[in-house]
Amino acid sequence: MLRKLLLLPLLLAATLTAWAHAYHASIMDVRYNAQKQQLEIALKVFTDDFETALSAGRAASIDLDQSPKPLVTQLTTDLLRKSVAFGTKPGEVLPLQLLGMQKENDAHWLYCTVKLTKPVTSVNLRHSLLLSAFPDQMNIVNLEASGKKQSVLFREGEQEQKISW
């Protein structure tokens, strides 16, 4: 009986841990800066999910806090460029520049910019971040442009959308 009582807290802790992260999602805040002709991006991802994606196909797992910073920066840049693409017309991919990362509890914020070649009233966005690792991944994009705010959901089968303002 005593063993069962000791086992109960362990089972409860495991259950609470599973509930704490039972879904896969990212949140991207995009601000169109017309004056600088650029998109300013803040992307929040769960650390464990992002580390899983960065570690895919590698002999050693990536730990955002322990792995060498230059390696993490390069892998992050490569992953973002493969899975997040902004353009002003279909098929166009504008260069995405990673500015930095910041840890926040069980997540990380990634900060990026995308330079635009001219003033725009819409963008095409392909957003498939983490979908190869987690088929139930939902990528929420909140866009602020010309005083308007809107949100768009990207998920399996809906990775490319045009956002107008």
Entry pTM = 0.84
- Please name the residues in contact with 79: beta carbons below 8 A apart, sequence gap of 6 or more: 53, 54, 129
The partner residues of 162 in beta bridges, in order of sequence, read 124
Higher per-residue confidence, 162 vs 1: 162
b/e map 75-108, b = 16+ CB within 10 Å: bbeebbeebbbbbeeeeeebebebeebeeeeebb
**Tokens at residue 163, please?**
């956002």
- Residue 152 amino acid letter: V
pLDDT digits (tens, 9 = 90+) for 91-121: 899 999 999 999 999 999 999 999 999 999 9
Q: How far apart are the C-alpha atoms of 4 and 6, rounded to whole Å?
A: 5
pLDDT digits (tens, 9 = 90+) for 61-101: 999 999 999 999 999 999 999 999 999 998 899 999 999 99
Contact 51, 64 (CB under 8 A): yes
> What share of the chain in percent tops pLDDT 70?
87
H-only helix segments in 60-102: 69-83
Q: Across residues 156-165, what is the average pLDDT? A: 95
Q: What mean pLDDT, rounded, does the chain reach?
A: 89
pLDDT score of 128 more than 90: yes
pLDDT confidence bin for 18, thresholds 50/70/90:
very low
